[in-house]
Amino acid sequence: MKEVNIETKLEVYDDISELPADVQKLLASAVEARDNAYSPYSKFNVGAALLLENDEVIIGSNQENASYPSGLCAERTAIYYAGAKYPNTKILKMAISASSQNQITDKPIPPCGACRQSIAEYEIKQDQPIEIFFTGAKGEVVKSESLVNLLPLLFDNSVL
Ligand code: THU
């Protein structure tokens, strides 16, 4: 038996104002997308904005459904949209903002496991890290230099 310890690295910013202007702008796009989420069931709005290497910003928000599992998270809505519209354009950064309609979301909300796996696919495909920034409605912003930092032991196509 051997024990394996896995370490990861994140940066935590106290406030959005500590981040570079381009990231602040991307987070503002995520907030705009968040406000257009379709979340009548959970009342939890999430917005994601991707900055592509062609300078385009692609947004997504969570889209819910009366048949609950048919809904989709903001991050996957955005990344699949980017993959469909610009299949050969690299994704540089992803900004995520989440806000409950029932309470003040004052802590950073990370992407769920399924979204992490989906983002990993694109990071591997483009062979370049995607910087990920996530936050709540206010307060701290967390930065991960790469999706891999958020999903150790990810499943990839090397075994298929
Ligand atoms: N949600 C996202 O959009 N992204 C996540 O990473 C976690 C959860 C959405 C899905 C659902 O519409 C609502 O938030 C509550 O789970």
Which residue has the least CA distance to atom 7 on ligand 1?
Answer: 112
Reported as a single tens digit per residue, the pLDDT across 87-124 is 999 999 999 999 999 999 999 999 999 999 999 999 99
What integer pLDDT is reported at residue 96 of this predicted model? 98
Average pLDDT along the chain: 98
CA distances from 12 to 15, 29, 81 (A): 9, 20, 28
Residues 19, 27 contacting (CB under 8 angstroms): yes
Q: For the full predicted model, state whether its pTM sits above 0.75.
A: yes
Residue ID of nearest Cα to ligand 1 atom 1: 73
Ligand 1 centroid, distance to 29 Cα (angstroms): 17
pLDDT at 109: 98
pLDDT given for residue 51 in this prediction: 98
Mean pLDDT for the stretch of residues 59-69: 98
Residue among 38, 61, 62, 77 whose CB has most ligand 1 atoms within 8 A, to mutate:
62
CA–centroid distance, 98 to ligand 1, in Å, is: 8
CA distance to 3, 22, 71, per residue, from 25 (Å): 43, 5, 27
pLDDT at 108: 98
Question: What does the alpha-carbon distance between residue 58 and residue 72 come to, in Å, rounded to a whole number?
Answer: 16
Tokens of 77: 């809505």
Q: Which domains does the chain have, with CATH numbers?
A: 11-150 (3.40.140.10)
